[in-house]
């Protein structure tokens, strides 16, 4: 679409280049494969390659005649009876992140953990997980993990360490622990608490410090302020009809996001809660009837597209007979229940993308917004006027405050205000005050893990001050990487240098390990016993699946040995502790089996809000000034930097920016234009005299006069992945301009007085450019209407709106396949765009289940990424000018009204698959269950199929990505899925291995039918929103069939007559009339 | 004197024709030979490696009549028919022939789990083939169909080609192999008098709706 063309319909686009139709964009999408994708990567040119290949074949030809000898090695010794070799087992355990335990079930194939899944019984999982938990298994097998104890640069072993540490600890014990300090990350483990108590009694002068770069400090401080005690806030999004999110990415980076998404999605299944009327058996939603039905609708509803202005047309469809005489199913009764989400934020987050209305506002002004809102709502507290003044003059915000206040007040008891972890304590406290009047059941409080609140910041500051004062003799750093991520002004590295004995326990030999005298390699969570608490307090047991691969030790073992605790093995410590409260072996076994202890969640508390304290805090808090603002945010992939050496996380595109292997200065289009910046321009950031180089990336819809930088990049001491180097393919990143790091270390700008955001940052263009790999233009859909959305009102008026945009042309396939798709199991999938937030968990889960390799930044730039699920993020904005039906005013790009739609795009399993028709060797063919199958061993790599795929979901192995895999990485591969080699095409299989397994099981169990829900592909299993549903579409009672009968259900590219088996449920936005532009 | 042109003698025509025919025949022979040499029937059938312990199936399964599943206990529960751990052997061999020289590797493996017996795999499918013992055995395909009369083998050898064409022969007409489940490990089973294999096979096939994948690539390849 050229900018000169005037469009009247709402436009959906993935990148600003696409919107503007720049020549670079056209050239990129018009090529058969992206520039460089088909070319050799290394200095070996084609000719030389052929010479080498010919020689290679000559030699290989001879050796290939010999039969490879394979050994079968059954276990020696005594064998556990219940284990059946070759049959995978699942074990419950927990994954700890940010001090919170998420229950997981981990699959073990003959003793090797291979896949993390959610634990349906665990309250912090309910069957789903975050993408972090999915990727955590890669850390277990990471060949760059710390493999030994180190003293300085020398390899030592555990016994050496114990020998060296024992006299030191004895001496410290003699001094009551004077000079002994511990620095750990947030941890809710009761066993660790027990050891801390033990240390506190035996060495009362020792001190425990806690530091996390990404913490809950503000929320806890806010609760402390509002209630006089630190409490955990739990939002019951399944009960909230109106949600106001203030800089709160509760569906994305929030500590509890898995559960938040789960609950939030329950209020978004609009049109589903009413059981479909059985519209007869002829209505199986595929095949010929469907086609005709679409044709009929299409002719009526050509202009009824994107919904924002879809008015009356295409109603009155019910009872209409299709040309073949099959009754078109009558539209189902539509439920109009749906929550409404308002988001006010600086960065464009996935929560903002899900919002029904989104206001972009500097993070520093959000306190002002809330104060003004409180005033409007009639909440009284001191200091409101002062803060509300900060947004004076912002007309749009003024309009918002009126509308949102009205909506919140009208929904008392069913409304909630959520404040993000980056907002200061007084904003949290003010939200608590507002919630006290509007929340009702939507907010619950429980006690926090710690009874007394001490902020992370105060804790590490205290440590640094004492170290500088020479009061610290021995420091034990238990996990974490403070040298890298402590606030820059504390100069942690220098302070650490003043400590005599520095001991570090960690998974990696990282920046902190490099500064310590001793490093102890830590056991991965799948290698050791432990425990933890979910955010709601539920006690959970961490059970290892494998003995430590590199003889690592857990924090529990290290502390127990050093402090002389009664037990020294982590198993004994955890078991002894829990047996006390459990009472018996049987209960303990059950707890280990379940992964949790039932009914141990903290009881809800109802603390009284102290309005006076909040008022005086507001009075004391300074009002935000003006100027360019910088925001430090947790990265969707790196978290706080701990995933730097995790290739899956480096390569999964950021949910909003679609950047991989990099961070950037995120900036709005208007601010960038005002400063003369464009994408990939290198800029120098200056904040309080500290400087950092970073490239620019324009994120349309970002707040004006504000920039966002992600934490967690620019690691200097990490593994091969994190250093951007890979032996297999040489440098993963030739285009690096940071030296030897991936991205820029934004911790260098982050100081203790501005941990979250700060005003007064300066941006100066250096004149250089940094090549950024962003995947949003890869596999472009060329503006075809793949996402459909409507407002709730329009949906109620025109329930079938999503089916409308059909060009009406139906191609007739020249190929007939021999199968009757009305027989037997016919697999299909439905994906609900109204609940999908784009959290990426499915992308990583798919990668883990299907042995999908990573390729590195340079190859991503060439368009060679291998993910089977592409999370398409479309930007759009509601028209800035009123759209009247028929009154066609031009649609214009307006950053004030930006929205996003996330669409997981994977093989659609077309019944008339275009890929199959062009494969010269029949390597991709259909089966009788409607799957578009891939026989890898037949594929010769012509790539015709990928070229003919209308959804661009096929992935080609340009290189042998699995070459030279380390022995530990080999252990991680799913044995049920072929590891593909070079020259082979691959794509989503609907997890055909899981289908086979279920079919085999059904046959063994008396040749029964497969039950609905028995097969769950990895993506559907992990989805926190339950947006992906898989099943038999031939069974009218199956979940997927019911979804396919819904009014919101639509197929992509109907006009091609390809009849995809995957269908989508259109997105809805529950708009507030008063805020429509 | 007329300048003699260099003219090929007449016989050269014949020679060229013969050479062409010869080349064609040679090429054909190479193709045929190549095909023959690389057929599973040629390169795989008859493979009979020496094992670290001279275990006799003929003695154990044949003469003593032990059931296959006594040792290969996972065959009806897992995709793989596991080779037994040393512990299984030691059930009897702690009492019988407990000092036999031949059993030394077994005793060593039982005493020290880090020194398991390394058997050589005889029946090997390519890595891109996902074969499930569980489904075949529970469906009524006998061990004998793929492994032959192991109960008569002193040293196990591969008797069937295990190639894709051979697999499909059975997948297209499973009635030729199906038998009641209880006789799956009875390698010398024959249909009772008065019935034929086809009749019995057809009955089982229809009762249990057995439709093995024939054109469905995903049945075995994924």
In chain A, which residue's Cα lies nearest the Cα of B89?
A76
> What is the 3-state secondary structure of A949-973?
CCCCCCEECCCCCCCCCCHHHHHHC
What is the structure's pLDDT at A40?
Answer: 56
In 3-state terms, what secondary structure has residue A501? Answer: strand
The partner residue sitting opposite A996, judged by closest CB among B85, B209, B222, is B222
Q: Which of A34-43, A140-149, A406-415, A824-833 has the lowest mean pLDDT?
A: A34-43
Using a CB-CB cut-off of 8 Å, the residues of chain B touching A927 are 213, 215-219
CB contact (8 A) between residue B126 and residue A937: yes
CA distance A479 to A186: 10
In chain A, which residue's Cα lies nearest the Cα of B71?
A74
Using a CB-CB cut-off of 8 Å, the residues of chain B touching A74 are 82-86, 116-117, 119
CA distance A28 to A966: 35
pLDDT digits (tens, 9 = 90+) for A882-933: 444 445 566 778 888 899 999 999 999 999 899 998 999 999 999 999 999 9
Q: Which of A3-12, A266-275, B12-21 has the lowest mean pLDDT?
A: A3-12
Contact between residue A798 and residue A1066 where contact means Cβ atoms under 8 Å apart: no
CB contact (8 A) between residue A85 and residue B132: no
Work out the end-to-end distance of chain B between its first and last CA atoms, rounded to an integer number of angstroms: 79
The alpha carbon of residue B24 is apart from the nearest alpha carbon of chain A, in Å, by: 23
Q: Tell me how crowded residue B34 is: count the other CB atoms within 10 A of its CB.
A: 10
In 3-state terms, what secondary structure has residue A563? Answer: helix
What is the structure's pLDDT at A64?
Answer: 52
The alpha carbon of residue A999 is apart from the nearest alpha carbon of chain B, in Å, by: 9
The alpha carbon of residue A872 is apart from the nearest alpha carbon of chain B, in Å, by: 26
pLDDT digits (tens, 9 = 90+) for A379-429: 888 888 888 888 888 888 999 999 999 999 999 999 999 999 999 999 999
The alpha carbon of residue A552 is apart from the nearest alpha carbon of chain B, in Å, by: 21
What is the structure's pLDDT at A302?
Answer: 31
Looking at every residue in chain A, the average pLDDT score rounds to 84
The partner residue sitting opposite A1007, judged by closest CB among B83, B127, B209, is B209
CA distance A250 to A279: 39
Q: Which of A288-292, A523-527, A853-857 has the lowest mean pLDDT?
A: A288-292
- A998-1018 core/surface letters (b: 16 or more CB in 10 A; e: else): bbbebbbeeeeebebebbbbb
The partner residue sitting opposite A927, judged by closest CB among B126, B209, B218, is B218
The alpha carbon of residue B6 is apart from the nearest alpha carbon of chain A, in Å, by: 40
CB proximity B128 to A under 8 Å:
yes
Residue A456: which H helix or E strand, with range?
Answer: helix A456-468
Residues forming a β-bridge with A419: A246
What is the structure's pLDDT at A805?
Answer: 54
In chain A, which residue's Cα lies nearest the Cα of B216?
A927
* Residue A3 pLDDT exceeds 60: no
Q: For chain A, give the longest Cα–Cα distance.
A: 93
ipTM of the complex: 0.88
CB proximity B120 to A under 8 Å:
yes
Residue with tokens 């990129």: A28
The alpha carbon of residue A795 is apart from the nearest alpha carbon of chain B, in Å, by: 40
What is the structure's pLDDT at A86?
Answer: 86
The partner residue sitting opposite B113, judged by closest CB among A75, A87, A993, is A75
CB proximity B132 to A under 8 Å:
yes
CA distance A930 to A912: 10
CA distance A515 to A502: 8
Using a CB-CB cut-off of 8 Å, the residues of chain B touching A1000 are 79, 132, 134-135
Please tell me the pTM assigned to this model. 0.88
Residues forming a β-bridge with A182: A208, A476
What is the structure's pLDDT at A893?
Answer: 83
The partner residue sitting opposite B115, judged by closest CB among A76, A933, A978, is A76
As given in the structure block, the two tokens for residue A991 are: 């997890």
CB proximity B163 to A under 8 Å:
no
Using a CB-CB cut-off of 8 Å, the residues of chain B touching A978 are 127-128, 221-222
Using a CB-CB cut-off of 8 Å, the residues of chain B touching A84 are 74, 77-78, 82
CB contact (8 A) between residue B113 and residue A1000: no
In chain A, which residue's Cα lies nearest the Cα of B206?
A1007
- Which of the four pLDDT bands, split at 50, 70 and 90, describes residue A289? very low
Contact between residue A184 and residue A463 where contact means Cβ atoms under 8 Å apart: no
In a mutagenesis test of the B interface, which of A72, A827, A1009 is the best target, namely the one with the most B β-carbons within 10 Å?
Answer: A72
Q: Which of A34-43, A345-354, A745-754, B118-127 has the lowest mean pLDDT?
A: A34-43
Sheet containing strand A180-184, strands side by side: A154-156, A149-151, A518-521, A501-506, A474-478, A180-184, A207-210
CB contact (8 A) between residue A76 and residue B127: no
The partner residue sitting opposite B120, judged by closest CB among A69, A77, A79, is A69
Task: Say which residues have a Cβ less than 8 Å from residue A519's Cβ, sequence separation at least 6.
Answer: A146, A149, A150, A503, A504, A505, A506, A509, A513
* Residue A360 pLDDT exceeds 80: yes
What is the structure's pLDDT at A820?
Answer: 86
CA distance A1067 to A900: 11
CA distance A552 to A530: 14
Query: C-alpha angle with apex A575: A573 to A576, nearest 5 degrees?
Result: 70
Residue with tokens 């250093």: A723
pLDDT digits (tens, 9 = 90+) for A296-315: 333 333 332 222 233 333 33
CA distance A752 to A495: 15
In a mutagenesis test of the A interface, which of B75, B114, B217, B219 is the best target, namely the one with the most A β-carbons within 10 Å?
Answer: B217
pLDDT digits (tens, 9 = 90+) for A449-464: 888 888 999 999 999 9
The partner residue sitting opposite B113, judged by closest CB among A77, A938, A996, is A77
CB contact (8 A) between residue A989 and residue B74: no
Q: How many helices (DSSP H) and strands (DSSP E) are in chain B? A: 10, 1
Burial class (CB within 10 angstroms; exposed 0-12, middle 13-18, buried 19+) of B17: exposed
Query: C-alpha angle with apex A931: A927 to A937, nearest 5 degrees?
Result: 70
Q: Which of A360-374, A401-415, A1052-1066 has the lowest mean pLDDT?
A: A1052-1066
What is the structure's pLDDT at A389?
Answer: 87
* Residue A717 pLDDT exceeds 60: yes
Query: C-alpha angle with apex A306: A304 to A308, nearest 5 degrees?
Result: 100
User: What is the crossing angle of helices A611-620 and A425-438, to 10°?
Assistant: 150
- Which of the four pLDDT bands, split at 50, 70 and 90, describes residue A38? low
CB proximity B217 to A under 8 Å:
yes
CB contact (8 A) between residue B219 and residue A86: no
CB contact (8 A) between residue A77 and residue B213: no
In 3-state terms, what secondary structure has residue A26? Answer: helix
- What's the mean pLDDT in A172-179? 90
The partner residue sitting opposite B112, judged by closest CB among A69, A76, A936, is A76
């Amino acid at each position: 679409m050229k900018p000169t063309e005037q469009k009247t319909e709402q436009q959906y686009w993935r990148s600003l280049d696409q919107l503007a139709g720049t020549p670079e964009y056209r050239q990129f999408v018009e090529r058969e494969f992206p520039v460089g994708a088909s070319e050799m990567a290394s200095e070996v040119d084609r000719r030389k390659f052929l010479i080498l290949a010919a020689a290679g074949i000559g030699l290989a030809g001879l050796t290939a005649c010999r039969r490879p000898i394979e050994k079968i090695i059954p276990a020696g010794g005594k064998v556990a009876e219940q284990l059946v070799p070759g049959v995978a087992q699942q074990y419950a355990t927990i994954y700890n992140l940010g001090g919170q335990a998420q229950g997981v079930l981990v699959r073990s194939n003959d003793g090797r953990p291979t896949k993390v899944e959610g634990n349906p019984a665990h309250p912090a999982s309910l069957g789903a997980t975050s993408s972090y938990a999915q990727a955590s298994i890669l850390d277990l097998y990471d060949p760059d993990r710390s493999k030994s104890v180190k003293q300085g640069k020398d390899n030592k072993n555990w016994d050496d360490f114990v020998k060296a540490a024992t006299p030191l600890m004895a001496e410290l014990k003699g001094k009551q622990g004077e000079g002994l300090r511990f620095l750990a990350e947030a941890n809710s483990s009761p066993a660790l608490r027990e050891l801390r108590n033990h240390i506190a009694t035996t060495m009362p002068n020792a001190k425990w410090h806690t530091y996390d770069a990404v913490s809950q400090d503000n929320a806890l401080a806010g609760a402390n302020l509002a209630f006089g005690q630190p409490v955990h806030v739990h939002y019951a999004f399944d009960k909230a009809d109106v949600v106001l999110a203030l800089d709160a990415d509760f569906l994305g980076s929030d500590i509890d996001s898995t559960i938040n998404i789960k609950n939030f999605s329950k209020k978004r299944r609009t049109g589903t809660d009413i059981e479909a009327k059985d519209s007869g058996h002829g209505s199986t939603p595929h095949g010929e009837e469907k086609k005709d039905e679409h044709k009929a609708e299409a002719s009526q509803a050509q202009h009824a597209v994107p919904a924002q202005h879809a008015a009356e047309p295409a109603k009155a469809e019910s009872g209409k007979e299709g040309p073949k005489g099959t009754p078109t199913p009558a539209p189902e009764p539509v439920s109009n229940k749906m929550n409404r989400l308002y988001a006010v934020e600086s960065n464009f987050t996935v929560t903002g993308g899900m919002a029904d209305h989104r206001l972009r506002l500097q993070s520093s002004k959000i306190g002002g917004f809330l104060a003004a809102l409180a005033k409007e709502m009639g909440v009284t507290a001191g200091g409101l006027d002062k803060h509300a003044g900060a947004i004076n003059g912002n007309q749009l915000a003024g309009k918002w405050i009126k509308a949102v206040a009205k909506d919140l007040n009208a929904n008392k008891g069913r409304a909630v205000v959520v404040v993000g972890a980056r907002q200061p304590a007084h904003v949290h406290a003010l939200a608590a005050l507002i919630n006290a009047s509007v929340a009702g059941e939507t907010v619950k409080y429980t006690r926090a893990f710690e009874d007394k609140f001490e902020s992370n910041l105060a804790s590490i500051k205290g440590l640094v001050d004492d170290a500088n004062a020479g009061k610290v003799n021995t420091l034990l750093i238990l996990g974490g990487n403070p040298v890298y991520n402590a606030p820059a002004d504390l100069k942690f590295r220098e302070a650490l240098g003043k400590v005599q004995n520095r001991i570090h326990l960690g998974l990696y030999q990282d920046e902190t390990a490099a500064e310590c005298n001793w490093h102890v390699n830590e056991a991965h969570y799948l290698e050791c016993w432990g425990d933890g608490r979910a955010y709601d307090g539920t006690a959970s047991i961490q059970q290892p699946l494998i003995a430590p691969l590199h003889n690592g030790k857990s924090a529990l073992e290290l502390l127990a040995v050093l402090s002389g605790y009664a037990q020294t093995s982590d198993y004994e410590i955890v078991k002894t502790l829990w047996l006390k409260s459990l009472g018996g072996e049987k209960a303990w076994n059950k707890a280990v089996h379940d992964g949790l202890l039932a009914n141990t969640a903290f009881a809800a508390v109802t603390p009284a809000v102290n309005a006076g304290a909040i008022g005086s805090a507001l009075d004391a808090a300074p009002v935000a000034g003006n100027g360019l603002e910088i925001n430090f945010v947790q990265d969707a992939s790196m978290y706080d930097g701990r995933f730097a050496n995790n290739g899956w996380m480096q390569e999964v595109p950021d949910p909003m920016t679609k950047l991989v292997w990099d961070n950037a200065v995120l900036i709005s289009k208007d601010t960038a234009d005002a400063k003369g910046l464009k994408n990939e321009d290198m800029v120098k950031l200056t904040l309080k005299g500290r400087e950092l180089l970073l490239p620019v990336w324009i994120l349309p819809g970002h707040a004006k006069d504000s920039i966002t930088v992600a934490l967690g990049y620019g690691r200097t001491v990490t593994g091969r992945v994190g250093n951007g180097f890979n032996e297999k393919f040489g440098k993963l990143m030739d285009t690096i301009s940071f030296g030897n790091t991936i991205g820029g270390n934004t911790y260098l700008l982050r100081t203790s007085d501005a941990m979250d955001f700060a005003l007064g940052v300066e941006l100066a263009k250096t004149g250089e450019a940094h090549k950024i790999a962003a995947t949003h233009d890869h596999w472009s859909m060329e503006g075809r209407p793949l996402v459909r959305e409507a407002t709730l009102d329009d949906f109620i008026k025109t329930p079938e709106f999503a089916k409308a945009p059909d060009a009406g042309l139906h191609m007739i396939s020249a190929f007939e396949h021999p199968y009757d798709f009305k027989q037997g199991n016919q697999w299909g999938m439905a994906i609900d765009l109204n609940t999908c937030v784009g959290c990426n968990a499915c992308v990583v889960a798919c990668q883990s289940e299907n042995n999908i390799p990573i390729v590195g930044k340079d190859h991503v730039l060439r368009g060679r990424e291998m993910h089977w699920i592409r999370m398409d993020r479309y930007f759009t904005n509601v028209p800035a000018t009123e759209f009247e039906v028929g009154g066609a005013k031009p649609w214009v790009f307006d950053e004030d009204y930006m929205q996003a739609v996330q669409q997981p795009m994977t093989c659609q399993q077309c019944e008339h698959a275009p890929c199959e028709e062009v494969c010269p060797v029949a390597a991709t063919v259909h089966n009788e269950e409607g799957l578009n199958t891939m026989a890898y061993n037949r594929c010769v790599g012509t790539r015709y199929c990928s070229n003919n795929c209308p959804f661009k979901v096929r992935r080609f192995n340009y290189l042998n990505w699995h070459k030279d895999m380390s022995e530990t990485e080999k252990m991680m591969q799913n044995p049920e899925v072929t590891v593909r080699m070079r020259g082979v095409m691959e794509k989503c299989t609907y997890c055909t291995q899981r289908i086979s397994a279920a079919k085999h099981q059904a046959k063994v169990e008396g040749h029964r039918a497969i039950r609905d829900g028995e097969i769950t592909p990895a993506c559907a299993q992990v989805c926190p929103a339950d947006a992906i549903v898989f099943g038999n579409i031939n069974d009218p009672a199956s979940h997927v069939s019911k979804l396919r009968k819904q009014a919101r259900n639509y197929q992509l590219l109907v006009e091609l007559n390809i009849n995809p088996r995957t269908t989508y449920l259109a997105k809805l936005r529950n708009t507030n009339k008063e805020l429509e532009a | 004197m007329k300048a003699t042109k260099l003219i090929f003698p007449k016989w050269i025509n014949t020679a060229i024709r013969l050479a062409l025919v010869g080349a064609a025949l040679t090429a054909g022979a190479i193709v045929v030979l190549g095909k023959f040499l690389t057929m599973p029937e040629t390169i795989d059938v008859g493979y009979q490696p020496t094992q670290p312990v001279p275990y006799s199936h003929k003695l154990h399964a044949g003469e003593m009549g032990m059931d296959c599943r006594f040792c290969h206990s996972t065959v009806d529960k897992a995709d793989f028919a596991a080779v037994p751990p040393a512990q299984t052997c030691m059930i009897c061999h702690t009492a019988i022939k407990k000092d036999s020289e031949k059993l030394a590797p077994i005793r060593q493996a039982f005493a020290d789990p880090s020194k398991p017996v390394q058997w050589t795999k005889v029946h090997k499918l390519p890595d891109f083939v996902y074969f499930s013992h569980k489904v075949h055995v529970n469906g009524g395909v006998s061990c004998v169909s793929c492994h032959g009369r192991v109960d008569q083998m002193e040293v196990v050898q591969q008797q069937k080609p295990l190639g894709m064409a051979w697999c499909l022969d059975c997948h297209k007409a499973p009635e030729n192999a199906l038998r009641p489940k209880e006789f799956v490990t009875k390698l010398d089973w024959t249909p009772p008098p008065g019935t034929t294999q086809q009749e019995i096979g057809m009955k089982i096939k229809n009762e249990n709706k057995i439709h093995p994948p024939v054109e469905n690539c995903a049945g075995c390849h994924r």
